[in-house]
Amino acid sequence: MGNSQSIAGHDCFLAAVSNNASRVAFRGSLHPIPLYNMDIPVVPAAITYPETTDEVAAIVSCAADHNYKVQPRSGGHSYGNYGLGGTDGAIVVDMMHFQHFSFNPNSEIATIGSGTLLGDLTTRLYLSGGRAVAHGTCPQVGVGGHMTIGGLGPTSREWGMALDHVEEATVVLANSSIVQASKDDYPDIFFAVKGAAASFGIVTEFQLHTHPAPTEAYQYSFTWSIGNSQDYAQVFKDWQRLVSNETLTRKFASDLVITPAGIIVSGIFFGSQEEFRAFRLESHFPPTSSSVVITLDNWLGMVGSQVEDLIQQVGGGIPVPFYSKSLPFTQKTIIPDHAVDALFEYIDKADKGTLTWFIIFDLEGGATNDVPVNATAYAHRDAFMWMQSYAINLLGSVSRETRNFLQGINDIILLSKGPSARFGAYPGYVDPYIENAQLAYWGSNLPRLEKIKADIDPRDIFHNPQSVRVKSRK
């Protein structure tokens, strides 16, 4: 990959990858730089491509010796390009070679390398006796980030998040030591890894408990494309009323997507035909412009998502300049009807600064709410629904008007709640412009994370613009 521009520690990093020049790219030879969000330019000092955990440890040691910050890169889908450090001059540890996989049929534990992509994980598990784990629906996302920051997906209501499946993790720490972290061994590190790993180390391998893959499900998609803001507001009210029912079956997964063309409600019901018919889904909504229901009998066909398809269509499947915000909702912070009306009126009239935007409301809850908030670093255990607003500029950088448009959506919702407003953001949808980012991502778990950071990474080797900071000792 070349070394056209020397950096401090050049020979050390080269030696760390067995003096194989094809497995390290130094600043100056990074063409093109593998950005995900083209609105945030980042130039690392070097991108390394280790093949073993020992090589990862050697890279971290070189970085510490030469005063570099370090960030791992798995699938590379960070909204803030934090897999490239988030700011110029970091050392990137790309995990693309960590593709190993094995499955123990006795323990039903899968061992996977952290460079594995979700699409590959799904296939490998399914071919190992029809097994599965909960995770998101974008096949290009890497497990190294997904399973250490949250990992929400269609089966999360039944099985929990992706990180809830992690039984053990092999972690390289800032002092270049290698530990096997679990609930019994290195419990503080294990706690931090399950929700905030990029601030604490590099996971090279996971051990995951698995489930029998579902064998029957019904995929549905309802569209409303003719109407005004009041009509669309009513669809949202009906959907929110349905998904906020605390007795709602955990077999039901659903997204509501607002686009310039209308509203789409889609998802999967994991159950029998008899159960799906008894659910009477269409009866909860006004007449649709179109509706589709598909019977699925193969797990590999169940893990796609109309939302992900929309994102791929809008962005063309290539890196683009974009901005995104997120917001959690609990049973105590359901959007009141008057705020729904105000939201849709705002969407109708606001200056968006772009023609390409959409807003996703994603039903979660269920099993994700069963885990105590202090059991893992992931803090939003009371959220039953998430909102993600998304805007793209295919022709240039994201404008201030576009960022203000997305912020206005959050403001309308939060102002409607008064003192009970839930401040927070999903740590997997990093927002470079959010205030108090660490508190938004990790909430009540932040003080414990700051203490762990001070204990195992006092020099802040594992750093990005919104990572956990070292808590000062008093």
* Average pLDDT across the chain, whole number: 94
**pTM check: above 0.85:** yes
Strand partners, 253: 268
Q: Whole-angstrom Cα distance, residue 57 to residue 171?
A: 9
- One fold for 101-213 and 217-296+305-434: no
Nearest Cα to Cα of residue 172 among 52, 65, 87, 75: 52
Give the pLDDT score at 83.
Answer: 96
- Whether the per-residue pLDDT at 197 is higher than 80: the answer is yes
Give the pLDDT score at 5.
Answer: 61
**Crossing angle for the helix pair 337-349 and 400-415, to the nearest 10 degrees:** 170
- Whether the per-residue pLDDT at 314 is higher than 60: the answer is no
- Whether the per-residue pLDDT at 126 is higher than 90: the answer is yes
Q: Whole-angstrom Cα distance, residue 126 to residue 132?
A: 6
Give the pLDDT score at 313.
Answer: 52
Instruction: Count CB atoms within 10 A of the CB of residue 8.
Output: 12
CATH 3.40.462.20: does it fit domain 217-296+305-434?
A: yes
Q: Whole-angstrom Cα distance, residue 398 to residue 391?
A: 8
- Residue 34: cis peptide before it, omega within 30 degrees of 0: no
Nearest Cα to Cα of residue 155 among 342, 304, 53: 304
Mean pLDDT, range 243-256, rounded to an integer? 97
Give the pLDDT score at 85.
Answer: 97
Handedness of CA 178, 183, 186, 188 (dihedral sign): positive
User: Going along 210-340, which residue ranges are E strands?
Assistant: 211-212, 217-224, 252-259, 262-269, 290-296, 322-329
Q: Which amino acid is present at 45? A: A
Class of domain 101-213 (CATH, top level): alpha beta
3-state secondary structure of 75: coil
Look at the block and give the residue holding tokens 């005063």. Answer: 67
376-408 pLDDT, tens digit each: 999 999 999 999 999 999 889 999 999 999 999
CATH architecture of 10-94: 2-Layer Sandwich (3.30)
Give the pLDDT score at 417.
Answer: 74
H helix intervals, 50-138: 53-65, 118-126
Decide if 367 contacts 157 (C-beta within 8 A): yes
- Angle subtended at Cα 374 by Cα 362 and Cα 166, rounded to the nearest 5 degrees: 70
Give me the residue spans of the domains in the chain. 10-94, 101-213, 217-296+305-434
- Whether the per-residue pLDDT at 67 is higher than 50: the answer is yes
Nearest Cα to Cα of residue 116 among 135, 137, 132, 100: 100
Give the pLDDT score at 31.
Answer: 85
Nearest Cα to Cα of residue 73 among 112, 37, 107, 47: 47
Give the pLDDT score at 316.
Answer: 46
Q: Whole-angstrom Cα distance, residue 117 to residue 112?
A: 10
3-state secondary structure of 180: strand
Torsion of CA 423, 427, 433, 436, to 10 degrees: 50
Give the pLDDT score at 12.
Answer: 98
Please count the residues of the chain.
Answer: 474
